[in-house]
Structure 1
Amino acid sequence: MQETPFCLRVGHLLPYAMSDSNTTDFTNPSTFILMGIPGLEAAHVWISIPFCVIYALAILGNFTILLIVKIEPSLHGPMYYFLCMLAVTDLALSTSTVPKMLSIFWFNSREIDFSACLTQMYFIHCFSAMESGILVAMALDRYVAICDPLRHSTILTNTAVAKVGLAVVLRSSILVLPNPFLARRCPYHRTNIIPHTYCDHISMVKLACADIHVNNYYGFSLIFLITGVDVFLIALSYTQILRAIFNLPTKDAWVKTFWTCSSHVFATLAFHIPGLFFILAHRFAQNVPLHFHVLMANMYLLVPPMLNPIIYGLNTKQIRNRLLWLFAHKEPKVFSWWSGSKTNLHAELSGDMVLSPLS
């Protein structure tokens, strides 16, 4: 079904324009107007409170993960290098949206330059794709650690980890690059008001008085090339992991291995399930209120960066113990190795690594 260009059905938005130029015809506007959350403008200040708290927790949590991995030599391994990549991506993803969003909520600063809007669009989609790719890389690490533990250190060397990280960055940067160019080529008439808190690709091109089938087709192709492929690869890796787990000799080994993988499983579900729901609802659920779409889009970008440090911090013994040492200034038992040997310390630090139940 052909979608009606948004510019032909936005007359009710025009009172929000900040100048007369917003209601006249133009092809390349110098600025766009971000409405925030349509229909909930009166509650913007109250809505900003949980958003600000989530952002602060995301910043604190991800910087803490980076600090702990940096100062603790026992965490200098593939699993934690990928975790650091995830933390950096989460910081970039949340920072690309929240500061402008809070300026809308607190200072009514709705204007955004046309080029800045395209730049924000690119970085949002690029960092989202990077996060998906890093989750695939982490699934690869879990697969090798469980299914081929004796070769884990030789397969996932520091060089291999760097190459995987570079591949994730290049894939995301290149595949998302056409989005701002496709949006820029569209002519915009009658309004430059985006009913959103940030410059999302589909929300922006819906303003265009032109055929946007190319934009839609490319958007769908990105869903399959990035989200679809990544979900398939993660599912494939965990299929092999489950087969390996069921071959373990004892139930204790099953539980230990499941617990080791649970952090990555929770992080993957927290990112991909809301993302798929948002994508499908935004494109097919036309009767859903607009403010619900906008709230879901913001939660999709804000909640995973906040949850990931919590998930890995609570579920990874090495991070949890070092975190206790940092904030309590007290050596937890696992680090009280003066009375024992360094070998015992290493074995205890590696307690939730999957190599031990399979070795």
Structure 2
Amino acid sequence: MHIFNTSEISTFFLIGIPGMEPANIWISISICLIYLVAILGNCTILFFIKTETSLHEPMYYFLSMLAVSDLGLSLSSLPTMLRIFLFNAPGISLDACIAQEFFIHGFSAMESSVLLIMSFDRFIAICNPLRYTSILTNARITKIGVAFSLKNVLLTLPFPFTLKRLRYCRKNILSHSYCLHQDVMKLACSDNKVNVIYGLFVALTGILDLTFIFMSYILILKAVLSIASQKKRFKVFNTCVSHICAVLIFYVPIISLAVIYRFAKHSSAIIRILMADVFLLVPPLMNPIVYCVKSQQIRNLVLGKLRQKHS
């Protein structure tokens, strides 16, 4: 493996967890189990939402969008992570790397957008419950889903083209077990100012999503506190717990990683690698579990199917 090259390079090398190479087989088993549970959990949610008429409601349609984005994140990162830990094959071509980072960033942006839509859904359900179904009609939900999906595709579409125009002629070792835009562009030996500026713009859209989510919950909290009955207040706010957990599961690793890169540049590389892996592995794993535990309708359907199979 050559770290420096005098000619233009076309192959990059991803890394696993430095110093943990002897345990790669056990790490690969753990990762396989995480991916298996994540894919099975999200597919289960999609199956029940599609087949059960009782779940044909706006909240569950948005949950299905979240499950699709989680599946996309899992399937985008799965190939390279398993190749590294299971087969000890860290090499990846430039084109494959650029394709992977496009899908990872695209599905990450989609997840952020879906979490924002779900916060608006909770806001309407709590602050304007009588008009909830008339505001969030099936046609409007479809338009919202298509509009945000198109926005995210257009937002991340420049990434492959801006990376492809760069020259890579010295370093060829990446910092993670999958490709990210900011990681690849740092290896370029040509001017990458366009990539830096556009990357910041995309990051700002994510911050904007989080800001609107926060504002939605301020209004939700204000509405909940205006309810006289403490029992009813708790019951209403309890409908938001699953979404709050999903927001924390998605944004806490991203914010932590950004803080580490900004204020703890000399921290251990293993911490940064583990936080980056948590960002991709944990949300697709935990979101189905959280919603199955907290949503009584989904929980009852899952338990009912299990009892049916057992009997």
Normalised by the size of structure 2, how large is the TM-score? 0.94
Corresponding residue number in structure 2 for 1:235: 214
One-letter code aligned to 1:63: C
Partner of 1:103: 83
1:284 and 1:210 map into 2 onto residues whose CA distance is 27
Alignment deviations for residues 232-268 of structure 1 (CA, whole Å, 9 cap, x no partner): 1111111111111112131111110111110101111
Q: How many matched pairs?
A: 310
| Alpha-carbon contact 1:37-1:195 (below 8 Å) kept | no
* Equivalent position of 1:74 in the other structure: 54
Structure 2 residue 302 is the aligned partner of structure 1 residue 302: no
In structure 2, C-alpha distance between the alignment counterparts of 1:289 and 1:210, rounded to whole Å: 28
SS at match of 1:97: helix
Corresponding letter in the other structure for 1:296: M
In structure 1, stretches of 5+ residues that fail to align are: 1-15, 331-359
Unaligned runs of at least 5 residues, structure 2 = none
Query: In percent, how many aligned pairs have the same letter?
Result: 47
Deviations 1:286-337 (A, max 9, x none): 102222212211111110111101111000110011011111118xxxxxxx
46-55 or 257-266, larger mean C-alpha shift: 46-55
**Paired residue for 1:114?**
94
Change (3 A) 1:41 1:203: farther
Deviations along 1:148-189, one digit per CA (max 9) or x if unpaired, are 111111110011111111122112111112222222222111
SS in 1 for 2:239: helix
When Rg is computed on C-alpha atoms for both structures, the one with the higher figure is 1
Residues 176, 276 of structure 2: 8 Å contact kept: no
Moved over 6 A (4+): none
In 1, Cα distance between the equivalents of 2:211 and 2:116?
Answer: 9
Equivalence for 2:145: 165
Matched-pair contact (CA < 8 Å) for 1:33–1:192: yes
SS in 1 for 2:235: helix
- 1:6 maps to which residue? none
Q: Distance in 2 between matches of 1:84 and 1:30?
A: 38
* Residues 78 and 158, structure 1, Cα contact 8 Å, conserved in 2: yes
Structure 2: which amino acid aligns with 1:243? K
Residue 16 of structure 2 corresponds to 36
Q: Indicate yes or no: 2:308 matched with 1:329.
A: yes
Counterpart residue identity of residue 314, structure 1 = V
CA contact (8 A) 1:38 1:196 kept: no
Contact 2:10 2:168 in 1 (8 A): no
Kindly state the Cα deviation for residue 68 of structure 1 after the two structures are TM-superposed: 1.4
What SS class does the counterpart of residue 82 from structure 1 fall into? helix
User: Within 5 Å, which residues of 2 pair with 1:310-325?
Assistant: 310-325=289-304
Give the root-mean-square deviation of aligned CA atoms.
Answer: 1.8
Q: Aligned residue for 2:6?
A: 25
The residue identity in structure 2 corresponding to 1:245 is V
SS of 2:242's equivalent?
Answer: helix
